[in-house]
Structure 1
């Protein structure tokens, strides 16, 4: 019963995380003409650092975690930050559809790393569900794959390093408090982002400053939901719900940017949400993951 409850909580947290990250991407697009990419990356992590730091101090939680877990924490922070940089670069220099489909392959890599590094057992339904999600993403995005090769390679690499970073979050389950994991990542990314931001710094307008703060707030919500989700259920299972973010992004694109939902978007959304529901129902009937 406890395991099933945690899986339900992980699904809800991952849906919250996907929604928050979709909102973050919306604000990133709205503010792209006024500030640099590295300023967006810096504020993405600065707000999380401040919010999580205050909560940790108030609850008297550990800021760093035990010494023996510093390597996986560093790996999560480093690969997560590198993934953000590559994704932002790819998004700015390639077709959005191509970048989206390549970066959304991260659940496949999460499953691979979870099996190799964490010895997680892959359920009978997991692999077909992953590929069904991927098929839904292909249908929804209709990628042309005629963009420049470097941004596409970086988008694909983003999925790999994200899968590794998410596996490290799962490794820390029960060993390091989730807020400590977030603080470690936010501190590393804020410091590194600050120095990378300086060469091309642009003074933001009041509107752009609000946008930058919103990027940080939505990123914090997404990061908190994601980290808690990966510590409540197997990484290979939790990663499935990340695909729901595609559907949310489609809805926001229609409402905010006037990008209509085509038949392919609708069909892809059905495949994605249907596969996530399939995974959820299967794990509800087989709580041991068999």
Structure 2
């Protein structure tokens, strides 16, 4: 009887996880990514969207590589899983770059609504390609939570505003939707390779994103900003660190939990961003935002309580 080689990033045997571990990890990723988004908002004064992708990926890759070396995790991937890993890396880069571009070209609220259609797409992609059972109440919670997102971000095409409105181009709208779909595909692909160590997945994702964004900057942008002040560099470092923490939490969480349910937990990202805006930026809290936050938290609570009442999740 053959045994799994220690030189390969495999998980030997089925392992039982706590019922809420997968959702908890996705929740941690939402917290990390929300803080990263707040930092990116500050850094947008200094960097283009593709430069942000480059620094976010490069620093996260370096940190992840140090952890890989410390834990002596092998970066060898089984041949039959390399196509899945390549698709995950490509979709991850597309999702990142499209989301950052949409946010830079659109009103942030409008871009957020389009980007956060990902969980709805993920539910149906998971059912179609992973044969995951779609519970009506989970889908309902995801859809209702999306309405909560709308209340929090208040897109100008639904909520009238007296402020000067930035009209989004068709390219920006398409970019947001493409980014949302690419992220949904990435979530599904992660579930297809649960035996690959999550550090290995993050390693190749961040490395490929660094290379592709660097090539893009060299060919299309022709400008790379390095003469930045101390606060800008601290922000860049924070983006990389928070991106690393968010990525490893999300990757491991998606390997454990059903992809549709886990992706719905990412709505917490919107709530966290709303909190940072209120506490750190001293923005006035809008009643619609409070209502939206309550709706999102309620839906996430329903999903979590239902998951806690089921059997522990087994590693594939």
Contact 1:7/1:232 (8 A) holds in 2 = no
- Residue 254 of structure 1: aligned partner: 278
- Residue 284 of structure 1: aligned partner: 308
Show CA shifts across 1:201-241 (max 9, x none): 12231322221111101111110110010011111111111
- Residue 237 of structure 2: aligned partner: 213
For residue 191 of structure 1, report the CA deviation from its aligned partner. 0.9
Show CA shifts across 1:60-115 (max 9, x none): 22214111101110101001101111111100111111100110110111112211
Find runs of 4+ consecutive structure 1 residues off by over 3 angstroms.
2-7, 286-289
Q: Secondary structure at the match of 1:7?
A: coil
Show CA shifts across 1:20-65 (max 9, x none): 1011111111111122222211110112211111222222222141
Paired residues for 1:53-64 under 5 Å: 53-64=65-76
For residue 3 of structure 1, report the CA deviation from its aligned partner. 8.6
For residue 117 of structure 1, report the CA deviation from its aligned partner. 1.4
Two-structure CA RMSD over aligned residues (Å) = 1.8
CA distance in 2 between partners of 1:41 and 1:157 (Å): 16
Q: 1:36 to 1:262 in 2, by over 3 A?
A: same
Structure 2 gap segments, 5+ residues each? 1-13, 158-166
- Residue 156 of structure 1: aligned partner: 177
* Rg comparison, structure with higher value: 2
- Residue 69 of structure 1: aligned partner: 81
Number of equivalent positions: 287
Paired residues for 1:39-54 under 5 Å: 39-54=51-66
- Residue 11 of structure 2: aligned partner: none
User: Which of 110, 113, 133 is residue 125 of structure 2 equivalent to?
Assistant: 113
- Residue 200 of structure 1: aligned partner: 223
Q: Confirm or deny that 1:166 pairs with 2:190.
A: no
TM-score normalised by the chain length of structure 1:
0.94
CA distance in 2 between partners of 1:261 and 1:216 (Å): 29
Q: Secondary structure at the match of 2:131?
A: coil
For residue 288 of structure 1, report the CA deviation from its aligned partner. 8.2
User: Which of 223, 229, 250 is residue 247 of structure 2 equivalent to?
Assistant: 223
Contact 2:18/2:312 (8 A) holds in 1 = no
Contact 1:110/1:164 (8 A) holds in 2 = yes
Q: Secondary structure at the match of 2:89?
A: helix
Is 242-251 or 277-286 further displaced after alignment? 277-286
Q: 1:53 to 1:288 in 2, by over 3 A?
A: closer
